[in-house]
A and B are shown apart, each in its own frame.
Chain A
C-alpha cells in the first residue's frame, strides 16, 4: 500500500512537470503578449517585458519558474491584475469556489442517492414519474438555464433570494447557484444509484438476508447502499473536480468571485503566469482526488486491493 502510494506520487510529479512544460511552450507559441495597448510604444512594451523577465529564452523562464514554484511563489499577474501575487488571487477565490462546489456536490449527491434508492425500492408510479422528470431535466438542461430560471422566478419575481453573490450574506446568496449546479449532480448520481441498487437487490445475498428476517432498513444500509456506492464514488470524483474548477457561466451570472472566471479572464488576456499556475493547481487537484478515490475504494469495498496484490 505504502509503496503503491509512493509510486503514484512520483508519477504525479513527473506528470505535473510535463504539464507545466507543455503549457509553457503552448503559451509561448500564442500570438501577442500580455501588454497590448495601442498607446504604448514598442520600446515601452519591451521595457515592461524586461521587467517581468519575459525577454529571456523560454527554457530559462521555465526553470526559473519551477525554482520559484518550489518556494511557493507562483509569480505575479501581468495583465489581469498587474503585480498581484498569484497566490493572493488563488487564496481569495479558491475558498469561494470550493465552498460552492462542495455544497453543490453534497446537496446533489444526497438528493441523488435518495432519489435513486427511492426509485429502485418503490415501483410506485408517482415516484417513477418524479424520478424520470428530475433525472431527465437534470441531465438534459444545462445548469445555466436553471440559473436563469431561478434568477427570474425566485430572485426577481418572488424577491426571495439575492440575485448576486454577496459576501455579507453568503448563505442566502449561494442558494441559487448551488441549486443550479447541484441539479445535474443529482441527476447523474440518481441514475447510477438506481441501476446499481436494482442489480444489488436482485443478488443472492440480499435475497438470503431477506429470508433470514433482517429488517429492510438494515438490508438497505448494510447491503444495498454500500454496494451501490462504488460506481457512485467514481462518478463523484469527476463531478467534484468539475465543480471545483468552477462553473464559468454560473460564476459570471451570479458574480461569484471564483476560479472559473479567473482562468478564462487570464486566458483571454494572455496572462501566462496566471494560466500556468491555475492549470497546475487543477492538475494537482485532479491527481490528488484520483489518489484519494483509490483509497476510498478500499474502505468501501474491502475486496479492492491496491498495488497489484490480492488476498
Chain B
C-alpha cells in the first residue's frame, strides 16, 4: 500500500519535472499580425549609440533611426538636403555654408540650432570622445585644424566650424571637398545639444533617457550591447508626414539559421542573409540584393620584390584569376566579381551617368584569360631575367578558403609561380596591411565611406616608406581632383582609375552585396550607396 503511494508520488514528480520544460509558452508573437510594427533582424549588437563615436555598420544601422544629418539619401538613393535647406560653397571651395530648415526640433521640443552642429563636430574631433571615426574629418575631408585637434595639440574650440546665427552652420576646410554633402550624410556628423550632453554627466548615449532624437524615430528601449532595440515614430521629425510605421523593433540574431527560421515563421519582417543559407532563398521573390561599396582586392608589393616591379608579371597575376568561379563556388551568395576599382551603381558623373556603368571597361588588363596570362608571365619573366617567382601571400585567418582558391588558380595558370600562404590572426594581418610593409601579396578589403571614387582611391595612396603603388600621375590626378569640379573632375577620376588598372597597381577581385529577405507587404528598405547605413524613411508595411 505504502509502496504504491510512493510510486504515485514519484510518477507525479516525474511528470512535473518533464512538463515544466514545456510550460510557460503561450505561442510565438507573429510580426505579420501587427501592421504598425516593423521587425528587423540585424547581425550584431551595436557597439554604441553615441552618433559621434559610431564607426561600425551595426551601430550605424541603429543610430540611423533616431538621428538626422545635414544631407541624406532618400529612398531612391538620391542625395537630398535633410536638416539643411541648402548649401553654398565659397569660390575657393574652402568654406561651405549650410542654411538650416525652419522649425527643426529635438524630441524634447527644443529647437535644433546651428550650435548643435558645431558641438557635434567638436565632439567628433575631441580626443576625449575617443571616436574611431575621426578620420572622417581629417582624411575624408580636411576640416581646419582637425588634424592637430584629434591628436590633442590644439584645443577643440579651434576646429573650423562655426554658427554665425542659429540657422547658419559654416565649415572651413583646409582643402576643397567636392563630395562633402555625401560625407555629411554620415551619423558622426549629426548634431549634439551642448546643454543636454552636459546634463547627462558622462552617461551620454547609454540609454534611451540619455539621447535626444532629431530623426524619424525615437529610441524607446536600449541598453549597451542590447539584443533588442525599439523605436517609435517621432512626431517632431521635420518630415514626419512621410514616416508610416508607428514602431520599429530591431532584433539581434547572430545565428543565420535562426534568422532564417524567424523570417519564415513570420517573427521578423526583414533579415539579412548570406552564404549557403542565402542560397536556399535564391529565386525567392522576396530576396533583395543591394550592392555595397565593399571591395576585395589584392594589394601588391611594388617596391621591394623584383618580380612584382614588372607590370607584365602583375597583369599576368590579375588575368590568371577566374573571379566568377571563386565568387560562385567559394564565396557563395553575397559577392560578385570585379575587374575595376569602382563598383557599379555607387557614384555618378556630374551628368548623372553611372561612374562604373561599364563594368567591363578594364577587362583588357584584369579579366581572366589563362592564355594571355601565361603569355604575359613568360614575357615578364624574360624581361626581369627570372625563372619563376616565390611570393609570400598573407591573409586574415578567416580568409584562407578564398586565398587557397586564388593560389590554385594562379599557380595553375602561371608555371614557375609559387605562392606561400601565410594566414595571420585578424589584428596582426590588419597591422601588416595598415603599415604597408612586409608582404608580397595581401588580400584586403576596403569599404568606402562616402559615394565618390576618391573614397576607394584613398587606400591606393602610398605613405612614404611603404611598399604600395606610387604612380606619380595617379597621385597628381587624385590630388587635383579636389580642386576641380564638373566634367573636368569626372575625367580626372576616370583617368586615375585607368592608370591604376593599366599599371596593375592593385588587383580588384570581388564586390560585396547585402542580401535581405523582406516579407510580403513590407517595402522601402534601402541602403545608402556605400551600403553601410540603412535608409529608413521609406519603410512601409501593409497588412497581409
Complex-state Cα separation, A38 to B466, whole angstroms: 14
Q: Which of A15-23, A172-180, A283-291 contacts B (4 or more CB under 8 A)?
A: A172-180
In the assembled complex, A74 has its CB within 8 A of some CB on chain B: no
CB–CB B6/A155 < 8 A: no
A62 at the interface (CB under 8 A from B): no
Q: What B residues does A201 contact at CB under 8 A?
A: none
B6 x A38 contact (CB < 8 A): no
Identify which of B24-32, B73-81, B337-345, B482-490 touches chain A.
B24-32
Q: Quick check: which of B105-113, B260-268, B322-330, B360-368 contacts chain A, the rest being far away?
A: B260-268
A215 to B26 CA separation, bound complex (whole angstroms): 41
Verify if B23 is at the interface (C-beta below 8 Å from A): yes
Chain B residues, CB < 8 A from A114 = 10, 13-14, 17
- Bound CA span A171–B28, Å: 12
B53 touches A32 (CB 8 A): no
Query: Contact between B227 and A165 (Cβ–Cβ < 8 Å)?
Result: yes
Docked pose: A166 CA to B225 CA in angstroms? 15
Inter-chain contacts of B255 with A (CB < 8 A): 252-253, 255
Partner of B127, one of A51, A93, A166, A174: A51
In the complex, per-residue mask of B249-274: 1 if CB is within 8 Å of any chain A CB, else 0:
00111110110011011010000000
Contact across chains for B13 and A37 when beta carbons are under 8 A apart: no
Q: B222-233, CB under 8 A of A: which get 1 and which 0?
A: 011111100000
B2, A215: Cβ atoms closer than 8 Å = yes
B427 lies within 8 A of chain A by Cβ? yes
Chain A residue contacts of B23, Cβ below 8 A: 175
Given contacts A43-B151, A163-B267, A255-B258, contact A83 B431 (CB under 8 A): no
A22 to B35 CA separation, bound complex (whole angstroms)? 54
The stretch from A63-71, A115-123, A239-247 touching chain B is A115-123
Q: Bound complex: CA of A262 vs CA of B139, how far in Å? A: 33
Whether a CB of chain B sits under 8 angstroms from the CB of A164 is yes
A61 at the interface (CB under 8 A from B): no
In angstroms, how far is the closest chain A Cβ from the Cβ of B447?
9
CB-nearest residue of chain A to B24: A171
B60 vs chain A, min Cβ distance (A): 14
What does the 1/0 interface line of A94-128 toward B look like (CB < 8 Å)? 00000000000001001100110110011000000
Tell me, yes or no, whether A2 is within 8 Å of chain B by CB.
Answer: no
Known A-B contacts A84-B206, A217-B5; the reply to A172 vs B24 at CB < 8 A is yes
CB distance from A109 to the nearest CB of B (A): 9
CB of B25 within 8 A of CB of A38, answer no
Are B17 and A111 closer than 8 Å at their CB atoms?
yes
Q: Are A84 and B258 within 8 A (Cβ)? A: no
Q: Is the CB of B459 within 8 A of A38?
A: yes
A35 near B132 (CB under 8 angstroms)? yes
How near does chain B come to A213, taking the closest CB pair, in angstroms? 10
Task: List, in ascending order, chain A residues with CB within 8 A of B55's CB.
Answer: 37
Nearest CB to that of A117 among chain B residues?
B10
When distances are taken between beta carbons in the complex, the residues of chain B under 8 Å from A168 are 29
B250 smallest CB distance to A (angstroms): 11
Establish whether residues A163 and B47, one from each chain, have CB atoms under 8 Å apart when the complex forms.
Answer: no
Given contacts A36-B427, A39-B135, A81-B225, contact A107 B17 (CB under 8 A): yes
* B20 / chain A contacts, CB cutoff of 8 Å: 107, 110
Q: Are A155 and B265 in contact (CB under 8 A)?
A: yes
Contact of A257 among B151, B227, B426, B449 (CB under 8 A): B227
Which of A82, A220, A256 sits near B227, CB closer than 8 Å?
A256
Give Cα A65–Cα B382 distance, bound, in whole angstroms. Answer: 61
Q: Check A182/B21 contact, CB under 8 A, given A82-B130, A166-B228, A252-B254.
A: yes
What are 29 inter-chain pairs, A to B, with CB distance below 8 A?
Answer: A32-B428, A37-B55, A39-B139, A40-B134, A40-B135, A47-B150, A47-B151, A82-B130, A82-B132, A88-B223, A92-B223, A110-B20, A114-B10, A115-B17, A155-B261, A162-B29, A163-B267, A165-B227, A167-B221, A172-B27, A178-B21, A217-B6, A217-B9, A255-B252, A255-B253, A255-B255, A257-B45, A257-B227, A265-B225
Name B residues whose Cβ lies closer than 8 Å to a Cβ of A: 2-3, 5-7, 9-10, 13-14, 16-18, 20-29, 45, 47-48, 50, 53, 55, 127-128, 130, 132, 134-135, 138-139, 150-152, 206, 221, 223-228, 251-255, 257-258, 261-262, 264-265, 267, 425-428, 430-431, 433-434, 444, 446, 449, 459
